[in-house]
Amino acid sequence: MDAHRQAWTRALAGDYLPAERLLDGGPADGWREALRAVCWMAAPDALSAPEPPVGGDPDARAIVLAQRARRALLEMDWRAHASFAPAASDATGLAADLADEHAALRALAEGDAAGALRRFDALRKRSDAPSVVADAAAWAALAALAAGDREDAVARARRASRIARTEGLLQSEYLANLVLARVRRHAGAPHLATRILEQLSAVAPTPWQPWLAYERALAGGRDGALGALFDAARAGDRAAFDGAREACLRRARGFAPFEAEVLAIASALDPDAPSRSAFERGADALSPHGVVDPAEDEGPVAHVWLAKGDATRILDAGRGFTERAAWAPTDLREQRSLTLLSVLALEGPMELDDAFAAVYGFAFTSAKHDAVMRTLLHRARSLLGDAGEIERDGYTLTLRAHRPLLVPDPRCARPAEQRILSALATGSGGAREIAQRVRVPLRTVQLALKQLVDDGAARVEKDGRRVQYVVEDTTFAEPTLSRLRRRPAQPG
């Protein structure tokens, strides 16, 4: 079996030729089906789905079941994923590792992110199979993200990407970088997520495309169900919204992290939704799970909706569900006044120094800032007009609304630098081209690009006299891209 195991190892690195040569041989204690399973993940149209061998080497059977489970997960078929569990009883070595990986994934699918994280960490430390270690590191990043620790998830995803690249495991690189893209979006860097996903989509085999498409949609691309959800909210079409929400949930149901994501996004689009996430309460300015509206332009990303004494923050598309008679500002240049109105609407009665710190980002000192605060209150009251009033009782501020208010919240706006990076995520571009794409003055773009280059977020590439700018990512960069550009062999 040494030749078959070596062929399997080579296939994991993207060299399928040794495995192809052994596909037409005898049963080989189940290893022929194991090799077929690995090749099938690279070229599913050229091979039929492998069947788990009866008897033979437990490792070979476990490989077949693990590949079938991986394919089901990538295609977001959660029921099928559950059915391909490698046997755990009396298993040792690789078979035991793959059984443990599947059990940890099932824990994650069922909502036990902390338990799944412990399992993946234990597996990563115990296994002596490089592919298992690399994949467990990637899955652990996904579990850390589901557990709510974005900072830990970023660190883990970066490490998983480097492990897979160092070990030279092509399929593990696909997985690690797909998870890295998801984590980047959740951490508020959709431009980095988009860049990774665009590159992966160009080279990853067919089985990887459904999950890639799902992630691209959440990072700002167009997707049938998710795009329909945003469009229905924007149009205020409740029936279409409920239908699109259910379509999104059907795809996510059975894998808790994805289901929670859909529910949070739908809630942030619906001012009547009963649940209140950190974003909706105003505690987190980042959109739920870092989702980007596919129709987002230079307008507000989010608004605070105050009606009948209840305030919530909603994504811009959710305006469609608000009352047409609601007050909304016509002058969006008064950013600090809008921030003050947003803060007071969400927080209720508030101490003056807390309101000042929320608007300006530093502590209030009466001797220095009293005149500044009086000016801010005057402008906010003028902006509000007869739609409401801001009462001051000593050091307490209270917003009294006379009719429903829809206040753009500047704290959620994506800065010009990030919009420029998002425009660059799908390819390089010059300053003038980018300015036209993001509809920002050329001089603003030129200054922002200079700062981005100085900060290491972008780099300059020269093509003759033409200057191009490219997104820089210290993890997903050359030589990662050059490796992933090599398409797997097409066995047949």
Task: Give the start-to-end residue ranges of the domains of the chain.
Answer: 2-218, 414-471
Phi, psi of 87 (to 5 degrees): -65, 130
Q: What local confidence, expressed as pLDDT, does residue 425 receive?
A: 62
Label residue 311 by pLDDT band (50, 70, 90).
Answer: very high
Topology match between the domains 2-218 and 414-471: no
Q: What mean pLDDT do residues 228-252 have?
A: 94
Residue showing tokens 């398409």: 487
CB atoms within 10 A of CB 128: 9
Q: What mean pLDDT do residues 345-368 have?
A: 93
For 467, half-sphere exposure in the C-beta direction (CA atoms, 13 angstrom radius) is: 10
Label residue 477 by pLDDT band (50, 70, 90).
Answer: low
Peptide bond into 329 cis (omega under 30): no
Q: Taking the domain 2-218, which CATH number applies?
A: 1.25.40.10
Task: Say yes or no to pLDDT of 267 above 50.
Answer: yes
Task: Pull the structure tokens for residue 190.
Answer: 């959709």
| Domain 414-471, CATH number (from 3.40.50.620, 3.40.50.720, 1.10.10.10, 3.40.50.300) | 1.10.10.10
Label residue 417 by pLDDT band (50, 70, 90).
Answer: low
Give the list of residues 6+ apart from residue 388 with CB closer than 8 angstroms, or none: 327, 399, 400, 401, 402, 403, 405
Task: Say yes or no to pLDDT of 485 above 80.
Answer: no
8 A C-beta contact, residue 475 and residue 180 = yes
Q: What whole-number distance in Å separates Cα of residue 477 and Cα of residue 482? A: 9
Label residue 2 by pLDDT band (50, 70, 90).
Answer: confident
Q: What local confidence, expressed as pLDDT, does residue 154 receive?
A: 94
Q: What's at 413, amino acid-wise?
A: A
8 A C-beta contact, residue 203 and residue 485 = yes
Name the residue with higher pLDDT: 224 or 348: 348
Q: What whole-number distance in Å separates Cα of residue 449 and Cα of residue 437? A: 14
- Give how far Cα 471 sits from Cα of 160, 251, 333, 482, Å: 21, 32, 29, 16
Peptide bond into 479 cis (omega under 30): yes
Residue 466, beta-bridge partner list: 463
Q: What local confidence, expressed as pLDDT, does residue 475 receive?
A: 63
Q: What local confidence, expressed as pLDDT, does residue 492 receive?
A: 42
Q: What whole-number distance in Å separates Cα of residue 461 and Cα of residue 26? A: 53
8 A C-beta contact, residue 248 and residue 229 = yes
Q: What whole-number distance in Å separates Cα of residue 140 and Cα of residue 156? A: 7
Q: What whole-number distance in Å separates Cα of residue 280 and Cα of residue 278? A: 6
8 A C-beta contact, residue 75 and residue 204 = no
- Give how far Cα 400 sits from Cα of 272, 283, 344, 389, 480, Å: 21, 21, 9, 5, 56
Residue 315: enclosing H or E segment and its boundaries? strand 310-315
Which range is most confident: 90-99, 100-109, 323-332? 100-109
Task: Say yes or no to pLDDT of 389 above 90.
Answer: yes
8 A C-beta contact, residue 347 and residue 282 = yes
Q: What mean pLDDT do residues 322-345 have?
A: 89
Residue whose C-alpha is closest to residue 433's, from 442, 422, 443: 442
Residue showing tokens 């443990």: 100
Q: What whole-number distance in Å separates Cα of residue 486 and Cα of residue 219? A: 25
Q: What local confidence, expressed as pLDDT, does residue 263 receive?
A: 95
Task: Pull the structure tokens for residue 22.
Answer: 């052994």
